Structure 1
């Protein structure tokens, strides 16, 4: 009898890891090789290592689990576990996130990271949690530039009448409207075909997104406007997070932070390494004096200050202190 009991206990002990195994789905919209994709795969690998194989993360890139808006809905409902999501769609749910994308706020990536890793980032995390979203880390989506098929952009007048695809991000839409362009919100997954068919004249993205999604194949000019910064918000479903053990939460948070550091490193290196490759494909680059552009977007700050109050001023002050 004792042997039978011992055998049953041993069997339960052996089975317990499988019984407590966790599988999580992580979605994003980037192409293979993009820093967002590389960091997501790294995150999955580290979670497996740190958990001793107990937690498995399935990565679905290229919008396999839906576009950004659909993934955000899944997170809030608990039907998707994790998403490396875009700033614009996230701002549609948590408006304060849009402030980080105001024009010409950050000149360098490290300045943006310093602000996001400080008190401003803590405020954003608090606001996100109110909407059933847990911010695991602020990854990077680069400083953005304008490409198009009509002419080089050297002054604001060059944008007049151009249909520029933007993400569904209020700050970006406001910025391009203020500059005289015709901002055209569109899913990133639809952008290549829209450029190829002339549905839009141009778009704005960091070089890493332009390269990994092959947008350079359907664009003639790339103007280094550096008009805004965007983060990639690494989010987890609050309902899913609440079900995890304290140890599992620590594992996921550690992996998310390590993946953030890799993502930022890859993002920072991309502008230096990719310009030559994009130029070799036939795209013509030009530098830009941003002063006239900055003068034209002042009304954007006035509008956002009315909507978001002193948060805009505090983000500006933090950016200045970080050495924008």
Structure 2
């Protein structure tokens, strides 16, 4: 058979195959998701659930690649990288690249429970926060709980404001948290998440104000003897994406991403409530001294924080979230 004849037969066979099977599937679109939490964390479990659901719903047209442990950078750099499109999605509490006003959720002693947090974020206030993102090139997919933050140190239990006065406390680079720690009399130290263990171990800082899962997942309890439960601040693990990247998806695939994010948020909220009680008992068993503190005298001190951030975030927004949380 001549080369021309063989080529004709091969081409005919390919056309016949396409007629039977339809057009070949296009290559998968890969979305890269970055966060700073460890592989063993509830955040990572949530992202694995999201990955499975998106890939199943889109029949493999979208693939999700997850980068945990701060592999692509700390929260601030990831937030900026999602904005410029070098990363597709990120999670974290440092979201100034989107809008500093998103930190309004972290005003001190604002929320009393997870249920109250979720009710506020699922209502008009949550809609207002999400609406801040598109103009800066982002979409907010959801609000995952970073959780309630408490005080840790190696000097002794913190039971009154005098006990925290003068302590060097590691804080994330979130202005409202830094200002709150200052008002309470401590000395805030902004140290990247991945460097906190060493800073605590070496005594570069006296303590921290971690969320319980971070305290446990990152093993900070190995180098901190005292945990004083205050729930002085709730912080969001904002889940956001590059808007242009999502807008470039087919309508059905974009809808699948948002549906999977909503389902994952619901799953995560139930998970974190269960995990909190278990973690406290595990920390006690590991030798950490845990105490509850009366928040009233601390709460009486934070009026200046509300005054400062009412000016910065807008009095209307601060009033709206305070009324919704009340």
TM-score, length of structure 1 as denominator length: 0.93
Kindly report which structure 2 residues correspond to 1:191-206, keeping only aligned pairs within 5 A, or say none.
Answer: 191-206=196-211
Mapped contact 2:98–2:138 kept (Cα < 8 A): no
Structure 1 position 32, deviation (Å): 2.0
Residue 31 of structure 1: aligned partner: 38
- The equivalent of 1:76 in structure 2 is 83
Q: Distance in 2 between matches of 1:97 and 1:156?
A: 28
Distance 2:220 2:296 in 1: 27
CA distance in 2 between counterparts of 1:24 and 1:93 reads 19
Match status 1:53 vs 2:65: no
Structure 2 residue ranges without an equivalent (≥5): 1-7
Alignment partner of 1:215 is 2:217: no
Name which of 47, 63, 66 aligns with 1:40: 47
Q: Residues 133 and 235 of structure 1 are in contact (CA less than 8 Å); yes or no, is this contact kept in structure 2?
A: yes
- Counterparts of residues 229-244 of structure 1 (less than 5 Å): 229-244=234-249
Partners of 1:92 and 1:172 lie apart in 2 by 17
> What is the RMSD of the two structures over their aligned residues, measured on CA atoms?
1.8
**Partner of 1:130: helix, strand, or coil?**
helix
The CA deviation string for residues 254-294 of structure 1, in whole angstroms up to 9 with x for no partner, is 11111111211121112111111111111101110000000
Does the 8 A contact of 2:247 with 2:254 survive in 1? no
1:308 is aligned to 313
User: Could you give the per-residue CA deviations for residues 130-181 of structure 1, whole angstroms, max 9, x where no partner exists?
Assistant: 2111101111111111111112110111111100000000110010000000
Q: Which residue of 2 aligns with 1:318?
A: 324
What is the match of residue 272 of structure 2? 267
Counterpart CA distance in 2 for 1:165 and 1:51 is 42
Q: In the alignment, what sits opposite 1:62?
A: 69
Instruction: Tell me the CA shift for residue 308 of structure 1.
Output: 1.9
Quote how far apart the aligned CAs of 1:62 are: 0.2
In terms of Rg, which structure is larger?
2
Question: Structure 1 CA distance, aligned partners of 2:54 and 2:255?
Answer: 10
Query: What does residue range 109-188 of structure 1 map to in structure 2 within 5 Å?
Result: 109-188=114-193
Distance in 2 (CA, whole Å) between partners of 1:231 and 1:10 is 51
Number of paired residues?
317
Per the alignment, in what secondary structure is the counterpart of residue 233 of structure 1? strand
TM score, norm. by length of structure 2? 0.93
Following superposition, which runs of at least 4 residues in structure 1 exceed 6 angstroms of deviation? none
Q: SS in structure 2 opposite 1:90?
A: coil
Between the aligned partners of 1:143 and 1:108, the Cα distance in structure 2 is 9
Structure 1 CA distance for aligned equivalents of residues 101 and 136 of structure 2:
12
Q: Which runs of 5+ in 1 are unaligned?
A: none
Could you list the per-position Cα deviations for residues 51-89 of structure 1 after superposition, in whole angstroms to 9, with x for gaps in the alignment? 112211011100112111111121111111111x222x1
SS at 1:29's partner residue? coil
Distance in 1 of aligned mates of 2:17 and 2:72:
39
Q: Return the alpha-carbon distance in structure 2 between the equivalents of residues 75 and 104 of structure 1.
A: 30
Q: Residues 249 and 197 of structure 1: is their aligned pair in 2 closer, same or farther, counting only changes over 3 Å?
A: same
2:4 is matched with which residue? Answer: none
Q: CA 1:9–1:308 in 2, change beyond 3 Å: closer, same or farther?
A: farther
Match of 1:228 among 226, 233, 247: 233
